[in-house]
Chains A and B, each alone.
Chain A
Amino acid sequence: MKNMSVELCGVKLKSPLIAASGTFGFGREYDEFYNISAWGAISVKGLTDEPRVGNPPPRIAETASGILNSVGLQNPGVDAFIRDELPRLVATGVTVIANVAGSTVESYTEAARKLSDSPVAMIELNISCPNVRQGGAQFGASPEEAARVTSAVRGVCSRPLMVKLSPNVTDITAIARAVQDAGADAVSLINTVAGMAIDARARRPALANITGGLSGPAIKPVALRMVWQTAKCLRIPVAGMGGVMTGTDAAEFMIAGATAVMAGTANITDVMAGPRILRELEEFLDENGIEDVNELTGSLILN
């Protein structure tokens, strides 16, 4: 019997597959289609200390092999999440990762402090949302700022802390090392790639926010490169993501060095993506005679 379970900074996951934040809401909608505890974990829609209404529509534009989005962290706030969503989510049996964003160090620490007392298994610090003027990306763009917010949250957070990194930087490994040194237990990458779409006939941006974040297969090569570069220079584990649509995609991220793999945009084009990708990953292991999914992690052959 093959092993699908992995351990991500002390949290045991029944599979390496995690639903990526922002594509899965609080699990409520997908739970109507299948048992969401099929996922190793789910990372919930980005939470801020105070509720946010998000950006005006249109918030999505289709691209070649991907989508641009500019939702802008619409969420009911941490208190409402803990009160109205978390009990139901925990009752499904799924491992819950709380994705946290903020506009100031204090708003990050306040949200993380509240979540530390809740039954979430892990906190994912979002310092990379490209769609709000203040809400993360400014913290994710320099090693010093990334370390500052990570260190502050570390001080109030009793849960394992994963930091979600932006690809919109010159050297992602410098940011990754900085958050590792500031106390992060893991990093997840990549968040969306900053992008833009234009309606040529109207001569207007396709998104009301003008720019957005690109996701889907279009960014997979960028993501694989960054996961590979980052994983080989860190002591802490990496959760890899960016255009994971199939079980083979997930295997590629693990081979590049990821301990766990997140799938996001796949949920948007295929409501059954979670159980399908998991089944495909199991089939990949069977076809290649692999007994333990952990064997994949960092197994890239270079010569």
Chain B
Amino acid sequence: MPRDYSARLVFNECIAEDIVELCFELTEAEPWGSAPNPARGPSPLDPFYKKIKRVQGACSLPGFGAEPQGPNPGQFAHLAAPGVFLRRPVSIAGFRQDENIVRFIVGIAGEGTRNLAAKRPGETIKILLPLGNPFPSIPSGRNIWLVSGGLGVAPLLYLAKTLSGTARELRAFMGFSDERSVFGVEEMRELSEMTLDVGGFITDKVSGALASARPDAVFSCGPLPMMGALKKICAARGVPLYVSLEERMGCGVGACLVCACAARGAAGYKRVCRDGPVFDAEEVVIS
């Protein structure tokens, strides 16, 4: 169940040009885990990604064993940024259940995200989460490919973490427009067989790889032209593709109907916040 949490910033680091990693400790709402960790120390100030290995297995995975707890990869949060009217929807890039710490990777695109990035550790904001539908759960032993463009790798880093122990083969294709915007490469390399492209078209790399291999599913997040091209490539090979979409949002919970994305055929519009943000690529028009 989503809740509007008071969230205390515990980590803020610039990881690429105009991209910050923010980690918040969720407080003032029931924690996800059964009991709070009594041994909690001052460690949250350490970089989140360095601690990922340590918590391997602590986060319950979608579709594996126990009921999923806490946010799942593909879900997003609605962050109350200082100084602007609307909340900012941001995909969840990681979650530590033992300490109720949620991780975001935020692109600084305007006043709201700039004010978020200016928050200092110890300061609090309101965060509504988890929202939307996660990437579909996948049985273990499958071949899964992840394809990202730019900031779109953020939810896929979380997804890679949950899939790395259970997928038979996990491959990641990470595209960036230029060297200054590259991040998450080392983290993804530890979790998957990783292909990096800077300045070109990552979909060309995917297309080339598909000539000699066929994954069970492809999960993607990135710019619409990239995902549009990927949809054609995957459709031609009959590979299921799931995409995480972005749209200007209002309420974030499905009531206000502003974050519309065109549904395939004459089915009108779907709500990105509630029916997505992860969609079967065949369900939606990507343009």
- Whether B253 is near chain A, meaning CB under 8 Å from some CB there, is yes
Question: CA separation between A65 and B87, bound complex, in Å?
Answer: 12
- Whether B261 is near chain A, meaning CB under 8 Å from some CB there, is yes
- The answer to whether A54 touches B260, judged by C-beta atoms less than 8 angstroms apart, is yes
- Whether A271 is near chain B, meaning CB under 8 Å from some CB there, is yes
Contact of A268 among B3, B248, B256, B274 (CB under 8 A): B256
Q: How far is the CB of B174 from chain A (nearest CB, A)?
A: 28
Question: CA separation between A74 and B257, bound complex, in Å?
Answer: 8
- The answer to whether B256 touches A71, judged by C-beta atoms less than 8 angstroms apart, is yes
- Whether A45 is near chain B, meaning CB under 8 Å from some CB there, is yes
Contact residues in B for A25 (Cβ distance below 8 Å): 254-257
Residues 230-287 (chain B) with a chain A CB within 8 angstroms: 247-262, 268-269, 274
Stretch at the interface among A2-10, A29-37, A290-298: A29-37
Q: How far is the CB of A65 from chain B (nearest CB, A)?
A: 6
Q: Which residue of B lies closest to A45 (CB)?
A: B257
A29-B251, A271-B251 known; A59+B86 contact, CB < 8 A:
no
- The answer to whether B256 touches A32, judged by C-beta atoms less than 8 angstroms apart, is no
Contact residues in A for B269 (Cβ distance below 8 Å): 53-54, 57, 74
- Interface residues of A, count at CB 8 A: 35
Which of B3, B268, B274 counts the most A-chain CB atoms under 10 A from its CB?
A: B268
Main SS at interface, chain B:
loop
- A50-66 CB mask vs B (1 if < 8 Å, else 0) is 00011111111111111
Question: CA separation between A55 and B128, bound complex, in Å?
Answer: 27
- The answer to whether B4 touches A67, judged by C-beta atoms less than 8 angstroms apart, is no
Which of B248, B258, B260 counts the most A-chain CB atoms under 10 A from its CB?
A: B258
Contact residues in A for B257 (Cβ distance below 8 Å): 25, 45, 54, 59, 71, 74
Contact residues in B for A28 (Cβ distance below 8 Å): 254-255
- The answer to whether B247 touches A268, judged by C-beta atoms less than 8 angstroms apart, is no
- The answer to whether A269 touches B255, judged by C-beta atoms less than 8 angstroms apart, is no
- The answer to whether B255 touches A59, judged by C-beta atoms less than 8 angstroms apart, is no
Contact residues in B for A55 (Cβ distance below 8 Å): 260
Q: How far is the CB of B195 from chain A (nearest CB, A)?
A: 32
- Whether A69 is near chain B, meaning CB under 8 Å from some CB there, is yes
Q: Which residue of A lies closest to B251 (CB)?
A: A268
Question: CA separation between A23 and B84, bound complex, in Å?
Answer: 19
A23-B256, A29-B253 known; A60+B248 contact, CB < 8 A:
yes
A74-B268, A271-B128 known; A62+B86 contact, CB < 8 A:
yes
Contact residues in B for A268 (Cβ distance below 8 Å): 86, 250-251, 255-256
- The answer to whether B85 touches A63, judged by C-beta atoms less than 8 angstroms apart, is yes
A23-B255, A29-B254, A74-B269 known; A59+B248 contact, CB < 8 A:
yes
Contact residues in A for B2 (Cβ distance below 8 Å): 32-33
29 contacts between A and B (CB under 8 A): A23-B255, A23-B256, A25-B255, A28-B254, A29-B254, A30-B253, A33-B2, A54-B260, A54-B269, A57-B247, A57-B259, A58-B258, A59-B248, A59-B260, A60-B249, A60-B250, A66-B85, A67-B85, A67-B250, A69-B250, A71-B257, A74-B257, A216-B85, A268-B86, A269-B80, A269-B87, A270-B4, A271-B4, A271-B253
